[in-house]
Amino acid sequence: MGLKPGPLILPLLLQLLVITACTAPPDQLNTPKKELPVTVQDGYEIPMFPTSRDQLNFAKSGFTDKKLKMAAYRAVLAQFPKDKLERGHAAIGLAYLHLEPDYRFASPLEIRKAANDFEAVIKDYSALPDVLAKAHWYLGWIYTDLMKAPERGLVHYWQIVQDFSDIPMNLSPPVPWVNLVYPAQQTMTDRKPEGPHKLWAEAALLEIVRNAGSKSIAIQAFTLLYDRFFSSPSTGLALKAMLADRELAAHALPLVEPYLSRNTANPYLVRDIQALADKAGL
């Protein structure tokens, strides 16, 4: 019969672990980490990482120098000619740099340059749905919000809904060294994997509702959103937007009670929806 670690054995095991951990040869403890090679891109020294993913993550990390960040993205394009996915995301990063450091103060020329570059991304990376969905999203936002041309923006939002309905809206991964400071939280082993919290399509439908120039288009987009993504915050936000619009409130009112009965919205969104419904005559 095997022995189980009792109260006397556990401390011995812990002592053995401590002794083992502390007996590494001094030369191993003091060996400096190997420095990364460096390449010169646009006059800047850029560290070269072993994979295109690491190189892209470095380019996405914080830079105070806009030109240096641009060089970091271009290094991905220059050093990894075969890695199309990372190159596509690097091209998206370069396109957005025209709007930095704050898109609210970008000039009409810079906004136009950004739109042109996102259009080029769509042509150059037509086989990569993840890249295309994001590029169409940025174009929808640029035309609708920055250029005040919603009719052009809605074309790109509808493109996402029709062609990229299942592409998740992923956040950019952290740079490799972030976990050294902020270790990843441990999760339970029996926890079921979760699906994506948000898809590009549901956010695109919300933007169509918010920016549609006609009642019929807004209702069409909301109906798709309500049917496909009933538990999404985007559905509640779209319902809120419709209740706030005199022309759309009558269509939205009958849907308030069924939506709230699902108990999928946070309490703040519920409060806003109920207040608007009361004001609209529910």
Judge whether 41 and 75 are in contact, CB under 8 Å.
Answer: yes
**In terms of residues, how long is the chain?**
282
CA distance 137 to 57: 21
Tell whether 55 is covered by a domain: yes
pLDDT at 104: 92
Supply the DSSP symbol for 99.
G
Tell whether 133 is covered by a domain: no
pLDDT at 282: 55
Q: Determine the structural domain holding residue 230 and report its residue range.
A: 217-282
If one compares 280 and 127, the residue with the highest pLDDT of the two is: 127
- Domain end point (choices 128, 161, 188): 128
Tell whether 2 is covered by a domain: no
Give the three-class secondary structure for 276: helix
Supply the DSSP symbol for 199.
B
pLDDT tens by residue, 235-281:
999 999 999 998 999 999 999 999 999 888 889 999 999 999 998 87
Judge whether 139 and 164 are in contact, CB under 8 Å.
Answer: no
Stretch 43-53: mean pLDDT: 95
Q: What is the pTM of this model?
A: 0.78
Structure tokens, 13: 């095991």
Tell whether 157 is covered by a domain: no
pLDDT tens by residue, 194-237:
444 689 999 999 999 999 989 999 999 999 999 999 888 899 99
Tell whether 21 is covered by a domain: no
Tell whether 86 is covered by a domain: yes
Instruction: Please return the burial class of 193, using the count of CB atoms within 10 Å of its CB with bins 0-12, 13-18 and 19+.
Output: exposed
Tell whether 41 is covered by a domain: yes
pLDDT at 197: 63
- Domain end point (choices 96, 128, 160): 128
- Total domain count, the chain: 2
- Domain end point (choices 104, 128, 152): 128
CA distance 253 to 238: 12
Tell whether 91 is covered by a domain: yes
